[in-house]
């Protein structure tokens, strides 16, 4: 699983057993032949020095590493520890017939499995069952039905908390969040609903009202506009304090709240001011979608369909909990590979260059983000020479009434433009391609097809 995580996130892997062999000049089998205590001494040293190196690594530990109290202490201080919980029969099938010292006797192997499970539970920050769970853990994303009721224990640190929401979401979920945060909750703040939250005036009010010190944490409860604005406020306040998005909409749970992009809009374009500020943790509770009106659910499905097109899988067909988990894991992996949007992360903008232009041309009124993304996906697929049937069937986008010239001018100011030349994300036979130059006439023709 460590190798799969490294492949999906481009993090380097450090295998404890290989490091032990390198440092000791002996194989694991030889060390165990001397004594298990000798092996554990080397293991403690390797784990300690690896974790203290502060490198971004996936550290692959053997099953006995956490039997050491010192190792457990170092993991608690310096790592996110993931327990890949696999049943004993599967574990035995994987190691039977190998030369692993503690896998020579099945009865003894099963005894050790049961003996160690409480230690695994104690040491683990996250219990994972597959690769997606491990990717989410690496990105600090916690997906769990009922997580809102556990918010107090899921927000890292011990400093005071400022809860930021809008009046609508606060009226539905605010009391649950307050009760869960308990005595850590020190302040409550309100942002305007929708894109109005993503203005300098709205964020300025937050800055003036905050009373947190540098140990404090901003918890942003709401949709993508709330998490974008509150996250940017946190990134600049006192030159940066921790924040935790708690997305309540489908758009935010599958996309907007993941990956550390924060920002606000300008009249000239969407998300033109912002920062990269990775959350201390992202807490996603799919149960919150139960209160989502159907129009807002359709908004979120645009981002889910985008993710499915990029991943080459019909994730939009999954039930809510799995839909959210799979989409969140896909985006988390991309963002871990490219945390500052310098390359591959651009694929997440499939259709969004058109969408942002339509939203800005409408003055962020009357054209919702989900509707704009659905139309943008149509344009991107047409320019890619791909079938648009799935987008039309699932999202049913219809052209919008906006000023064509304003939309075109906004596109030319898009963040992905290079030297005035438009660069788009398109889908090829081998998957998504980014930074693709497209002739202006073709782009404008595709944009005009989206406008009534």
Do 350 and 276 lie in a common domain? no
Do 37 and 57 lie in a common domain? yes
Reference 14, options 56, 76, 45, 44; nearest CA is: 56
What is the phi/psi pair of residue 328, to 5°? -60, -40
Query: Does the CA dihedral 150-156-157-162 come out positive or negative?
Result: negative
Count of helices and strands (H, E) across the chain: 21, 14
Q: Do the domain assignments include residue 69? A: yes
Single pTM value for the model: 0.89
pLDDT of residue 303: 97
Do 170 and 245 lie in a common domain? yes
CA angle 343, 347, 352 (to 5 degrees): 120
Last residue of a domain, one of 276, 292, 308: 292
Q: Do the domain assignments include residue 148? A: yes
Do 129 and 189 lie in a common domain? no
Residue range of the domain that includes 131: 2-139
Helix/strand/coil for 185 = strand
Do 367 and 271 lie in a common domain? no
pLDDT of residue 417: 65
Distance CA 91, CA 230 (A): 44
Do 232 and 159 lie in a common domain? yes
Find the distance separating the first CA and the last CA of the chain, reported in whole Å: 50
Q: Do the domain assignments include residue 309? A: no
Reference 113, options 88, 93, 86; nearest CA is: 88
Helix/strand/coil for 318 = coil
Residue 72 half-sphere exposure toward CB, CA atoms < 13 A: 15
CATH number at residue 192: 3.40.50.1970
Do 124 and 173 lie in a common domain? no
pLDDT of residue 420: 66
pLDDT of residue 365: 87
Q: Do the domain assignments include residue 199? A: yes
Do 224 and 187 lie in a common domain? yes
Task: Tell which phi-psi region holds residue 117, choosing left (phi > 0), alpha (psi between -120 and 50) or beta.
Answer: alpha
Q: Do the domain assignments include residue 325? A: no
Last residue of a domain, one of 89, 107, 139: 139
Last residue of a domain, one of 103, 118, 139: 139
Do 106 and 145 lie in a common domain? no
Q: Do the domain assignments include residue 317? A: no
Q: How far is CA 48 from its chain centroid?
A: 28
Q: Do the domain assignments include residue 314? A: no
CATH number at residue 433: 1.20.1090.10
The contacts of residue 290 (CB under 8 Å, 6+ apart) are none
Do 107 and 18 lie in a common domain? yes
Residue 141's beta-bridge partner residues? 282
pLDDT of residue 313: 95
Q: How many domains does the chain have?
A: 3
Do 108 and 179 lie in a common domain? no
pLDDT of residue 58: 86
pLDDT of residue 359: 93
- Encode the chain (452 residues) as per-residue pLDDT tens digits: 778 888 898 888 889 999 999 989 999 999 988 898 999 999 999 999 998 887 778 889 988 999 999 999 999 989 889 999 999 999 999 889 988 888 899 999 999 999 999 999 999 999 998 999 999 999 999 999 999 999 999 999 999 999 999 999 999 999 999 999 999 999 999 999 999 999 999 999 999 999 999 999 999 999 999 999 999 999 999 999 999 999 999 999 999 999 999 999 988 888 889 999 999 999 999 999 999 998 889 889 999 999 999 999 999 999 999 999 999 999 999 999 999 999 999 999 999 999 999 999 999 888 999 999 999 999 999 999 999 999 999 999 999 999 999 999 988 876 666 666 788 999 998 899 999 999 999 999 999 999 99
Q: Do the domain assignments include residue 233? A: yes
CATH number at residue 90: 3.40.50.300
Do 145 and 282 lie in a common domain? yes
Per residue, what are the HEC states of 238-283? HHCCEEEEEECCHHHHHHHCCCCEEEEEECCEEEEEEEECCCCCEE
What is residue 279's DSSP assignment? -
């Amino acid at each position: 699983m460590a190798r799969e995580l490294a492949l999906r996130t481009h993090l380097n892997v450090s295998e404890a057993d290989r490091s032990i062999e390198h440092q000791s000049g002996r194989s694991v089998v030889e060390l165990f032949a001397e004594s298990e205590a000798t092996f554990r001494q080397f293991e403690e040293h390797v784990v300690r020095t690896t974790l203290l190196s502060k490198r971004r690594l996936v550290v692959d530990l053997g099953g006995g590493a956490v039997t050491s109290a010192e190792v457990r202490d170092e993991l608690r201080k310096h790592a996110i520890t993931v327990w890949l919980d696999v049943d004993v029969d599967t574990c035995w099938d994987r190691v039977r017939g190998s030369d692993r010292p503690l896998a020579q006797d099945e009865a003894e192997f099963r005894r050790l499995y049961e003996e160690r499970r409480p230690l695994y539970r104690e040491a683990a920050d996250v219990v994972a069952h597959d690769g997606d769970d491990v990717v989410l853990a690496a990105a600090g994303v916690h997906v769990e039905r009922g997580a809102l009721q556990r918010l107090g224990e899921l927000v890292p640190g011990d400093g005071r908390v400022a809860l930021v929401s809008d009046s609508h979401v606060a009226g539905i979920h605010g009391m649950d969040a307050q009760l869960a945060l308990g005595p850590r909750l020190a302040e409550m703040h309100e942002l305007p609903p929708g894109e109005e939250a993503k203005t300098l005036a709205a964020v300025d009010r937050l800055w003036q009202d905050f009373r947190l010190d540098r140990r404090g944490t901003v918890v942003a409860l709401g949709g993508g506009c709330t998490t974008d604005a509150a996250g940017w406020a946190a990134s600049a306040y006192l030159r940066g304090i921790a924040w935790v998005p708690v997305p309540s909409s489908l758009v935010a749970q599958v996309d907007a709240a993941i990956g550390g992009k924060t920002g606000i809009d300008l009249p000239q374009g969407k998300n033109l001011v912002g920062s990269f500020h990775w959350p201390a943790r992202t807490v996603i509770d799919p149960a919150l979608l139960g209160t989502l009106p159907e129009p807002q659910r359709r908004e979120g499905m645009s981002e889910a369909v985008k993710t499915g097109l990029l991943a080459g899988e019909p994730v939009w067909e999954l039930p809510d909990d799995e839909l959210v988990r799979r989409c969140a894991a896909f985006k988390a992996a991309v963002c871990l590979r490219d945390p500052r949007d310098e390359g591959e992360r651009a694929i997440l903008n499939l259709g969004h260059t058109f969408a942002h232009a339509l939203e800005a041309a409408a003055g962020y009124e009357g054209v919702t983000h989900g509707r704009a993304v659905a139309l943008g996906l149509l344009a991107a697929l047409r320019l890619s020479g791909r079938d648009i049937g799935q987008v039309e069937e699932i999202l049913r986008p219809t052209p919008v009434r906006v000023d064509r010239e304003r939309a075109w001018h906004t596109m030319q100011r898009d963040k992905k433009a290079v030297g005035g030349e438009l660069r788009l994300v398109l889908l090829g036979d081998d998957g998504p391609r980014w930074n693709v130059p497209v002739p202006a006439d073709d782009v404008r023709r595709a944009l005009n097809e989206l406008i009534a």
